[in-house]
Amino acid sequence: MEYNSLNRRFILNVIVSILILIIIYGFIKLISPFILAIFLGIIFSVVYYPVYSFFTNKKINENISAFLSVIFMFVTIVVPFLLFGWLLFKEAKMIYPQTIDYLNNNIYKIKLNIPSFIPFSSLDIKEILVTNLEEFQRAILKSGGGIIKNIFFFFVNFFVMLISMFFLFKDGKKLLNWLIELVPLENKYIERILMQFSVTTNSIIKGVLLTAFVQGIVAALGYYIAGLNSPIMLGFLVIFSALIPFLGTSMVTIPVAIYCYLTKDFTTTIFVFIWGMFVVGLIDNFVRPIFIGKNAKLPIALVFLGIIGGLKTYGPIGIFLGPIFVSVIITLLEIYKEKINFNYQDRVKKQPL
């Protein structure tokens, strides 16, 4: 009888486990179209949680505080990026015909003569410029066109992101406590992993991306004042170059200054050079401490490698996933190392002399 009872209990446990796995699989399948939106909701809720705390500390209702925090995120992140993206999309449509017209009017045929023993005896730089510019324009227009084409799904995902943020603000602590109880690790280690996730997320959003965006805006403003063509496009390139350590924005600002020296007057050249090197190039030293605090330490090499690897592996969302994965893995390895050292020291203490 006891054997049959244990057998039935085992079979029941197996059936229940299978049902739970099926339910989990169904749930993942259900939310899979919105994984990206939910993940972005988590990212922005971590970054903007201090705003939610500010409202709740003012004795404002939790629902209203969560709603105001979502609105604040929308105004400070979404609106500027949408405006910048619209201007970039509009400018990208014009830059290709303008460049073709400029090349046709000013450079009939540019060739770079190379010694004959090299396979490419002559390079048509005009053709190279036009081809690469056309590809660059096509990539931007394709991205913008893709959003317009899938406008309904874009708004659905955007709405899911906002809803996720609202409930994470409101019930985030309860969810974290539930996860801490569920994960088979000591609470101090789980809290350490979550803290690393928060620090890395804030470093990426505020210390890297937001700072780069500010540098791009400042650069675009300076190039607009200088009367250069396509200042938004140049600002867009500055944003990307700002993500690269050591060289940074000088990868764009110096070539632009050289272009002004060749095509513009001396005053414009000096202005563009000083603006690029000393305003755009150094403003991050003032902006970054405001965004993440003066005592925050950014692992620049780690963030850069994570961003590049994440972009290559996961696409645009890899900007967040790459550095987060790397930092969490390093934290887990540090925890594992501490556990190994602790167990070794514990065994040494227990050994008889």
pTM above 0.85? no
**What percentage of the chain has pLDDT greater than the value 70?**
72
Whether 217 and 236 have beta carbons less than 8 Å apart is answered as no
How far apart CA 161 and CA 177 sit, in angstroms, is: 22
Give me the count of residues in the chain. 353
Is the pLDDT score of 148 beyond 60?
Answer: no
* 104, pLDDT greater than 50: yes
The reported pLDDT for the residue numbered 183 is 73
Is the pLDDT at 144 greater than 50? The verdict is yes
Q: Between 103 and 220, whose confidence is greater?
A: 220
Helix (H, G, I), strand (E, B) or coil at 112: strand
Domain boundaries, the chain: 1-47+150-179, 76-149, 183-338
Q: Which two tokens stand for residue 319?
A: 């900007």
pLDDT: which is higher, 239 or 345: 239
Residue 157 has pLDDT above 80, yes or no: yes
| pLDDT-based confidence at residue 293 (cuts at 50, 70, 90) | low
The type of residue at 178 is W
pLDDT value for 342: 57
Query: pLDDT class for 109, splitting at 50, 70, 90?
Result: very low
| pLDDT(112) > 50 | no
CA distance 337 to 193: 14
What is the distance in angstroms between the CA of the first residue and the CA of the last residue of the chain?
52
Angle at which helix 151-182 crosses helix 49-57, to 10 degrees, equals 70
Average pLDDT value for residue range 158-179: 88
Average pLDDT, the chain: 76
Confidence of residue 184 (pLDDT cuts 50, 70, 90): confident
Residues 220-246 pLDDT 10s: 999 999 888 888 888 888 988 887 777
> What is the 3 state secondary structure string of 179-220?
HHHHCCCCHHHHHHHHHHHHHHHHHHHHHHHHHHHHHHHHHH
Give dist(CA 71, CA 60) in Å, integer. 15
Question: Over the stretch 63-94, which tens digit does the pLDDT of each residue have?
Answer: 999 999 999 999 988 888 888 878 877 776 66
Helix (H) / strand (E) containing 286: helix 284-292
